[in-house]
């Protein structure tokens, strides 16, 4: 009986320690910058771009990302719990190159269809302001 009590005590202590560590790793309001809602549209040569990864990268801190739907619309997420982007100036990168996991567990590489001037060599910049932001991006293939 004494062994069972010791085992229960160790188990309880372990669970408490894990919960404390996890709580310490969770983002708190003080850890996060002010963020604002960001939505937008990506078209290239007048046609919506589906499946493009849109990244807003601030000068410092975490970038926000979103993926365009079949109509070219996107909404950014700062992290899994919070939608939006950090308030301030961002460099914008738009890319279709990514890996997609198939139902059978394999991956397929989606090829880049967006010119480098909009992703690896991007000079696109925007200013995210408090409140709701809507950014349309009209790209061209040249």
Higher pLDDT, 86 or 25: 86
Strand partners, 137: 42
Confidence band (pLDDT; 50, 70, 90) for 23?
A: very low
Structure tokens belonging to residue 31: 């850890």
Q: Among positive and negative, which fits the CA dihedral 39, 94, 92, 100?
A: positive
* Separation between Cα atoms, residue 122 and residue 71, nearest integer Å: 23
Confidence band (pLDDT; 50, 70, 90) for 29?
A: low
In the chain, domain spans: 35-139
% of the chain exceeding 90 in pLDDT:
72
Higher pLDDT, 94 or 19: 94
User: Residue range 45-54: average pLDDT?
Assistant: 96
> Which pLDDT belongs to residue 142?
80
* Separation between Cα atoms, residue 85 and residue 39, nearest integer Å: 10
Arch. (CATH architecture) of 35-139: Sandwich (2.60)
* Separation between Cα atoms, residue 23 and residue 25, nearest integer Å: 5
103-132 confidence digits (pLDDT tens): 999 999 989 999 999 999 999 999 999 999
Q: Does the predicted model carry a pTM greater than 0.85?
A: no
> Which pLDDT belongs to residue 30?
58
Confidence band (pLDDT; 50, 70, 90) for 4?
A: very low
> Which pLDDT belongs to residue 9?
41
């Amino acid at each position: 009986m004494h062994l069972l009590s010791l085992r229960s005590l160790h188990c309880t202590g372990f669970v408490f320690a894990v919960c404390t560590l996890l709580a310490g790793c969770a983002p708190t309001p003080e850890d996060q910058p002010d963020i604002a809602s960001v939505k937008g549209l990506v078209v290239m040569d007048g046609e919506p771009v589906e499946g493009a990864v849109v990244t807003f990268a601030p000068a410092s801190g975490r970038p926000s990302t979103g993926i365009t739907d079949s109509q070219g619309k996107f909404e950014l997420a700062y992290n899994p719990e919070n939608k939006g982007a950090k308030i301030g100036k961002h460099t914008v990168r738009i890319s279709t190159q990514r890996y997609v996991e198939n139902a059978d567990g394999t991956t397929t590489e989606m090829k880049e269809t967006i010119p480098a001037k909009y992703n690896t060599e991007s000079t696109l910049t925007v200013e995210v302001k408090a409140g709701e932001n809507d950014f349309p991006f009209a790209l061209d293939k040249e």
